[in-house]
Amino acid sequence: MAPSAALAKVDHIQGVARVTRPQTNSTLPSGRYGTLVLACTMALLAGPAVGTAYAEPDKPGLEEIRKRIERLHDKAGSATDAYNAAEDAVKKQQKHIVKLAKRIETTQGKLDELNRTAGAMARAQYRGGGMPDEAKLMLGGDPEKFLHNVSLARKGQHATRGFIGTLTKTRGRLQGYAKDATDEWKKLEKTRKKKAAAKKKITAQLKQAKKIESGLKKDELERLRRLEDEAAKARQAKWLKSGVLKNLKGKASPAGRRAIEWATKQLGKDYVWGAEGPDTFDCSGLTMRAWEAAGVRIPRTSQEQWKQLPHVPIGKMRPGDLIIYKKDASHVGIYIGDGALLHAPRTGRQITVEGAGTMPILGVVRPDK
């Protein structure tokens, strides 16, 4: 069966391969993901044909509109990473607060028990007339018994001091946990504010981009999309012209193959900022879940993936590696070989396969190095 029939429908738009979601329930056979890559990117690798004419001249300003919309989505992507980072921090802080609450509850129970014991000791001393044990022993009428009981008195003193020490330490721990919980709660509130601010920024950027597009006529929207494709095609051609693929001979690791296979099944699903599956994803939500399916846990955001995962030179990347994009590391996708990238692009787009060089590359990381 032809790969295009079993896996995906490929549309060649101005020389850039775009893959829509497979129409069958077929999945990628283990060890044969390269078939998909080849089918998806043959036209992409060839680059623009000599003498090929681009679309008809656009009315003045349409190219600037394209750039403006692109910048707005870039800002929304950066804000999305900030939102995801805050969301991840909120989850961790909430878990920490729950642990502290359990410690406070347990420690309070111990303190209550110690306080009851202290009360019992005080009542016993009161019933004894408040006379110290040493005095009672000295005033006793049996000298031999007195000598024997001196040892008991000393043991009692040690036990009392130990009890007081335990009581003091327990109170100190309780106070410490209470302070930690208060501090953690303040951090949580601050993180929630960051999350809300990032959400507000995302919404504003996307709203502005949508407003710009809504002001265009149907034919202008079509030409705008062609301009977007042509710009991506030009960047990919420039990247390929550098000869970056000549020495790329690395093969995907077993985990890398599993990550690609899982990600391939998500083709065609919508991009939604802040989403991490199973029905919608943002860029780092997709890469995180893909590698999670491969048995490797990686950070939630593209920026943390860039910071924490081992870096790999572009000339040594292999299928399954993650390519990090833009100066602020606000976008990420999975390299699937032959110069192609599988990623969740942006709001209004679906998970697809495109040229790996269609965006400015910051670097490459390897989750299973």
For tokens 């111990």, the residue is 110
Catalytic residue among 40, 73, 283, 311: 283
The amino acid at residue 277 is G
Report in angstroms the alpha-carbon separations of 331 from 14, 76, 153.
23, 11, 73
Distance of CA 188 to the CA centre of its chain: 18
3-state helix/strand/coil string of 167-219: HHHHHHHHHHHHHHHHHHHHHHHHHHHHHHHHHHHHHHHHHHHHHHHHCCCHH
283 catalytically annotated: yes
Residue 24 and residue 244 in contact, taking contact as beta carbons nearer than 8 Å: no
Main-chain phi, psi angles of 319, to 5 degrees: -55, 135
The amino acid at residue 106 is T
- Gap between the Cα atoms of 63 and 222, Å rounded: 13
- Gap between the Cα atoms of 34 and 17, Å rounded: 15
331 catalytically annotated: yes
- Gap between the Cα atoms of 30 and 18, Å rounded: 23
DSSP 8-state code for residue 32:
-
12 catalytically annotated: no
Q: Active-site positions?
A: 283, 331, 343
